[in-house]
Chain A
Amino acid sequence: MPTHTHAIRRGSPARSQLALSTLTLLAFTVVGCGGGGGRFDTNNCRDFDSVNCVEIEGGDSAALQAAVNSLEDDTTLILGPGVFVLDNQVTIRNADGVSLVGQGIEETTLSFSTAAAQINGVDVVGDDFLVQDLTVLDAPKDGIRVENSDGVTFRRIRATWTEEGLSTNGAYGIYPVKSRNVLVEDSFAENASDAGLYVGQCINVVVRRNTVRGNVAGLEIENTEYADVYENHAEDNTGGIVVFDLPGNPIVGRDVRLHDNTIIRNNRRNFAPGGTVAQIPAGTGTFVMASRRVEVVDNEYTDNKAFDIAIVSGLIIADDPAVWELETASLVGDWDDLGLLAGATQGTITNFRSENIVISGNSHSQSMPTTNYGLSPDFAALFTFLYGNMHSDNIIYDGIGESMFDAVVAANNSNDNHICAGGNTDGTFANINALSQLSAPPTAPILQIADAPFAPYDCTAVTGGALVLPEL
């Protein structure tokens, strides 16, 4: 079946002309836009200002794959309403300016339910990529993965798996990685066995108004710099919204703001099949790990059973500092103003430390009395020891890297990591002195401070100037 690609004609053709061209092309399931397109109700070729545009009948998987594998730059693929049953991934390569647009998440679905190959749903490398108004269902691996691309937009899409809580579900739903200028908005990520919405190793990111539900980790910002994450809704995940660096990745995370999100009832049993994410305790609202210049402000935390916000060192998951060494020559992005700790090896820095973090203005409400710390034995033992069946303090700080700790007299504690909780009007704070606690069995008491401003953690702003956040 030939694929017709034509330049979009600007302006509306006469009605009769459109009808005629549609009739003429009825024999083809792939219809070029030379006649103006416009067969579909919501999105059609007339709406998109691209050089090439193809409208594909709903469900015509062969036509979709033929079009995708014959792409030229600046092409929009409009998918009609219906279910595209696919046994192989939708792979976009060798073309910039590609848009993949359906008729809405309830109308257009790419279904991989019967796919036997080890594939993602939509797999993209290409600058200026847009995916909009469609659902990706039951991808064997990741739902929509966009890698090494500059200018990436996810808009009103859904990545989901039919069965909730299955460790055999795919890993990531919405997954931009190693990309720049990434916008994810008004989208849904559900039932992923790792992270629903995973922004990994990106620079300049806006994530807003999305819903993440039923995943192990709802929304992750990993090794990413300059990210504004707001008005998202994280519910019924194992962990809600988290910010962290992993060891070995060449972008040092920085300048991340989570604000005005709702993080609610993230108590789901951890169903990850393995990996770092399997260590997230059920009942986690937010953790900030191995991160710097992060603000967690004005969010609403409700009924997360383990803790609302934890600030932890990367040594919690990988306790050998050598693992966290990064050669400065290999780093990508901005890092040299951060005052990162040098590694033991010449020419390296480390990024395990969490520092320069502001927690402020969040609301905390807890109506669930019992705890469920999930699969992580270390965390479970520690939290059970510290809190029994009580809800933990709202803001937990592991205290790793502090030079002074005193569980009784708050003023005798250091704040070397510049952890700021001074602007809070709500919530409680504890330094759990985790490093000595985790040298089992836990014995040392914790520092609990019930009332703001939580001196010596009473600072209210990051150092080094206000966060730099992108506008996309």
Chain B
Amino acid sequence: MSRSFVGGVRSTRAHLGLFGLALACVASLPSCGGDSSPGLDTSRPPRVSLTGSIPQRLSEYNLLAYDGDGQFRYNDRVVPYDLNTPLFTDYALKDRAIYVPDGSSATYTDEGVFDFPVGSVLIKSFSVAADLRTPDVDVTLVETRLLIRYEDGWRAFPYVWDAAQREAIYSPAGEVRAVPFIDADGVSQVANYLIPQRNQCLSCHERRVDGVTLTMPIGPKARNLNRDYDYGVDGGVQNQLTRLAAEGLLSGLPSLAEVDAAYAFAGIEANGVGSLTGAELDDAARSYLDVNCAHCHNPNGVQGVTSQLFLNYDNTDDFRLGLCKRPGSAGSGTGGFTFDILPGNPDESILIFRVETEEVGAMMPLLGRSLQHRHGAELLRAWVAEMPANDCSAAP
């Protein structure tokens, strides 16, 4: 029996349940799902071939369909999820899902990304809303990125949705698109939204381990997945890890009491940075840096290792975290300041400058941001301000 998930483009969604439609499908009708869900046949498993040519249409994978109005429908063993602290990409709305082939499962690990079996797919769709004050109205689905687990590691495949919002086409060359929108404060903005080239995916997804360069997912770590998700009529609100395990996509999950949870960033979006206590502030900031920066700024990062600035959550070295640390070759990225973090003084900390500026050549992260992430910048600013003041005249 097949089952499908339906998700909206907002991070908290109401699932409408097209369960009955899936039941009605039969194998002899490959277009089953028809008008409401072009390209998804839930009577058949997803088609992820690791050999042969790259599918030119996203629908060929039979992983998902989009109804053109903010709703995704996913095939069996394709489970949607959210992250506690997501990566900011110019206020794009994201829908994520994991597919693990029948008969196999990802292996749980406390540290880092789960070990996914060959044939697994991580699916991430990016949409933009015309007005972020009403994020579920007038939404344009822009792209869906697949990370597919091959025998020798992960490979990235970007698909760009057509204007009719019915099909996404393999688009390895990427695109830079000016996207006007109204932000959460009602201000008109234009993002230079980057649809990355296939090779550019590696700018964020690359790790160097024991001299070998690997492509790695970023988000699906235990602490970032450990949260509730509303599966709608298909189970209601459940913990995502519990659900993945129950669906057979994840094995080795310990008791949830033993699993750490990253700070849930939505709390800041709802209540502001001022609502955080000191310990929460540190946890929230380190969680934010972990997801938004540590894919490069970690000891195994390819591009970020040059800086010797390590922003991964488990880094315990304050100097490598940037406190009283001078940058290596930051170029225009210093903003004229001396230290990556001048504790207690966000106005003179390079890290704060770089996440706040919108100046090309100085912005961090390197890719995916052309606008300031207001709540993220506020969080980091408060975090640095909260540190015991230190003029860095002595070694840390």
Contact = CB atoms under 8 A, between A and B. Distances in A.
Interface of B: 155, 172-176, 178, 192, 194, 197-200, 202-203, 206, 208, 213, 302-303, 305-306, 308, 326-337, 360-363, 366-367, 370, 394-395
Interface-central residue, B331, B361, B394, by most chain A CB under 10 Å: B331
Nearest to A321: B395
Given A65-B197, A66-B172, A118-B360, A194 B306 contact: no
Q: Which 7 A-B pairs have the closest CB atoms?
A: A65-B173, A69-B172, A274-B334, A273-B332, A91-B199, A171-B331, A93-B199
B297 to A, nearest CB: 13
Given A117-B360, A148-B213, A249 B332 contact: no
Nearest to B193: A117
A29 to B, nearest CB: 13
B335 A274 contact: yes
Contacts, number: 131
20 contacts: A62-B173, A65-B197, A68-B197, A68-B199, A87-B176, A88-B176, A117-B192, A125-B202, A141-B360, A148-B208, A148-B302, A167-B332, A171-B331, A200-B306, A246-B329, A248-B308, A273-B362, A274-B334, A320-B395, A322-B395
Contact of A70 (B172, B330, B332, B362): B172
A338 interface: no
Interface of A: 62, 65-66, 68-71, 87-89, 91-94, 115-119, 123, 125, 140-141, 147-148, 167-168, 170-172, 177-178, 193-194, 200-201, 222, 246-249, 272-277, 318, 320, 322-323
A94 B336 contact: no
Nearest to A220: B329
A91 B329 contact: no
A117 B366 CA distance: 9
Contact of B199 (A94, A222, A275): A94
Q: Is the interface of A mostly helix, strand, loop or mixed?
A: loop
A274 B200 contact: no
A65 B174 contact: yes
Chain B interface SS verdict (over half): loop
- Of A68, A69, A177, A194, chain B has the most CB atoms within 10 Å of the CB of A69
A147 B329 contact: no
Contact of B332 (A171, A177, A248): A171
A70 B197 CA distance: 10
A274 B308 contact: no
A116 B306 contact: no
A92 B198 CA distance: 10
Nearest to A124: B199
Given A193-B332, A249-B328, A273-B331, A69 B199 contact: yes
Contact of A275 (B213, B302, B305, B334): B334
Contacts of A249: 306, 308, 328
Contacts of B333: 274-275
A91 B158 CA distance: 15
A246 B305 CA distance: 14
Given A66-B173, A68-B173, A274-B332, 14 more contacts: A65-B173, A70-B172, A88-B200, A91-B203, A93-B206, A117-B192, A117-B367, A141-B360, A171-B329, A194-B331, A274-B331, A274-B337, A275-B330, A275-B331
B327 A275 contact: yes
Contacts of A115: 176
B178 to A, nearest CB: 8
